[in-house]
Amino acid sequence: MHKAISVFDPATCKDNIKQELIISTTMGKRRSKGQGHIFKRGGVYYLQYDIGESRKVISLKCRDFRSAEEKAGEFLKPIDARTKAQIAVHIAEARGLLNDRKARLSSAWENYTRDPSRPNSSPGTLKNYKRSLEKFTSWTNEHYPQAVLLNDITVDMAKEYARKLWADGISWNTFNHHVKALHLIFRIVLGFRDNVWCRDNIKRKEKIRMTARQALTEEEVEKLLNSFDDPALSIPFKEEMRLLFNIGMWTGLRLADAALLKWDSVRFKQNVIRLIPVKTRKIQREVEIPIHPMLSRELKKAEQRDGGTDGFVMPNLARLYQEKSSIRYGIMKVFTHNGFETTVEVSGKGQRLRKANQYGFHSLRHTFATFAASRGVPVMILSQVMGDDVKTLQDYYTHLTHEVKGKIFAALPMISSAEDGIVVKEQPSENPESLLKSRLSRAVELIKSSGNLTEKEQEILKILTA
């Protein structure tokens, strides 16, 4: 449904000009040329209208329909303007484009953060947005000092800056995040209009597969976890770091979730850890992870050591993580102490110029997934435990070795022909102890089934069943 309101002020409109504003919350129907309407996008109302041959769209910067109607009416009051130039001046004033404080590139961040229509981003995301804008502003000041307003930034300038970014050797992901941040800031500050950072102007980079974190073998995991008993390993908050590595290894949690784990997420009675990971907080996707016996032991030691179950499980490491301090330095030192090459040169002529991380805390997540997959944990269960979608787990986290794959196929039954039909023979177990027990059990059953046993056979049976 559309509601038409008449915006007409005879006192200020000598030529008795009349305009109608068609109010709409959708853009489903096309309007005749010259008519405007209000529509909603991203929870914010916008006004679209025509002036001559030009179509304009501005943000009304409100989320309430009634307020949008009022603002639209106020905006269209000065319709007594005699020329397009006069109208353009009024529009510019209404949008703040003639206000130096609002339109200046130097004050763009202040205006962005104050705008109520901007997304509700986390502090970390805001910090990244600000860094992207500051980098662009610095480049603009150096190469185009005359560009002091956001409207001074042209498409050619944006393209030139994008080429410079890519030439710096940043990853495809960093490039896309940088451009998206600038697109968002310009859109919020200037209102919904032609954006120099839109996809038509600046193409986003396609995903490039980089060197993945390496998963660990069982021997390497044992070496890594036991190294905390080595006096030569000197790191801050060593016992908390031991617990952090056990959490990473036996839960697959990312560093943010592991370092900031709270006691109220640890359910000893149910023997599970239950929390909503940082990465799935927006969709409120909770994970429930069974507590491994080795992790349970370390958690109970920490509980006794700290004398309570309130707050962070590792308070010192949580503080270091929140302060973006030396927690990663301590993690990498554990790996290097055990002889791991934490970085590796990227082969070929890839985009990324710096070394790729080969081992790090995320390797524990890879290892957890690999161990679970190689022991037959269904990928759907793994997805629920790790909070990742199935495709991601298949593509990135399940690093089954040729040896493990060989064992899986070796466990398939062997089929051979016989005179009385097809005989299916199970492959022997890889475990010698299990194989011995199986054979002893079969021997006992065979002896028992033979009927009358001699004294010697009875003695053998007694030994076997003792």
- Give 100-114 as a DSSP string: HHHHBGGGHHHHHHH
CA proximity to 110, closest of 1, 185, 59, 37: 185
The predicted pLDDT at position 142 comes to 92
The predicted pLDDT at position 28 comes to 38
pLDDT (tens place) for every residue of the chain, 466 residues total: 433 333 333 333 333 333 333 333 333 334 334 446 788 888 888 888 776 666 778 888 888 888 888 888 777 655 434 444 455 555 555 554 444 345 688 889 998 998 888 888 888 889 999 999 999 999 999 999 998 888 888 889 999 999 998 888 887 788 899 999 999 998 888 875 668 888 777 887 776 554 456 778 889 999 999 999 999 999 999 999 999 999 999 999 999 999 999 999 999 999 999 999 988 887 888 999 999 999 999 999 999 887 766 799 999 999 999 887 678 889 999 999 998 876 555 554 455 555 555 788 989 998 898 888 878 788 888 888 888 777 777 754 445 555 555 665 565 555 554 444 544 444 454 556 666 666 677 677 766 666 667 777 777 777 777 6
Q: Are residues 241 and 161 in the same domain?
A: no
184: Cα separation from own chain's centroid: 19
Q: Are residues 149 and 89 in the same domain?
A: no
The predicted pLDDT at position 173 comes to 82
Query: Does residue 376 form part of some domain?
Result: yes
Q: Are residues 106 and 89 in the same domain?
A: no
Range of the domain at 254: 218-402
Query: Does residue 201 form part of some domain?
Result: no
Q: Are residues 31 and 85 in the same domain?
A: yes
Q: Are residues 109 and 88 in the same domain?
A: no
The predicted pLDDT at position 75 comes to 75
Indicate the number of domains in the chain. Answer: 4
| 3-class secondary structure, 223 | helix
The predicted pLDDT at position 61 comes to 85
Q: Are residues 279 and 347 in the same domain?
A: yes
**How large is the angle between the packed helices 123-143 and 172-190, nearest 10 degrees?**
90
Query: Does residue 150 form part of some domain?
Result: yes
Q: Are residues 120 and 87 in the same domain?
A: no
How far is the C-alpha of 151 from the C-alpha of 202, rounded, in Å? 17
Query: Does residue 412 form part of some domain?
Result: no
Q: Are residues 168 and 250 in the same domain?
A: no
> Are the C-beta atoms of residues 43 and 34 closer than 8 Å to each other?
no
Q: Are residues 120 and 179 in the same domain?
A: yes
Reported pTM: 0.53
The predicted pLDDT at position 285 comes to 86
The predicted pLDDT at position 209 comes to 54
Query: Does residue 203 form part of some domain?
Result: no
Q: Are residues 83 and 107 in the same domain?
A: no
At which of 146, 171, 190 does a domain end?
Answer: 190
How far is the C-alpha of 137 from the C-alpha of 301, rounded, in Å? 51
Query: Does residue 196 form part of some domain?
Result: no
- Pair of tokens at residue 215: 């998963």
Q: Are residues 291 and 356 in the same domain?
A: yes
Q: Are residues 234 and 333 in the same domain?
A: yes
Query: Does residue 246 form part of some domain?
Result: yes
- Pair of tokens at residue 266: 């640890």
Query: Does residue 210 form part of some domain?
Result: no
For 421, other C-beta atoms within 10 Å of its C-beta total 6
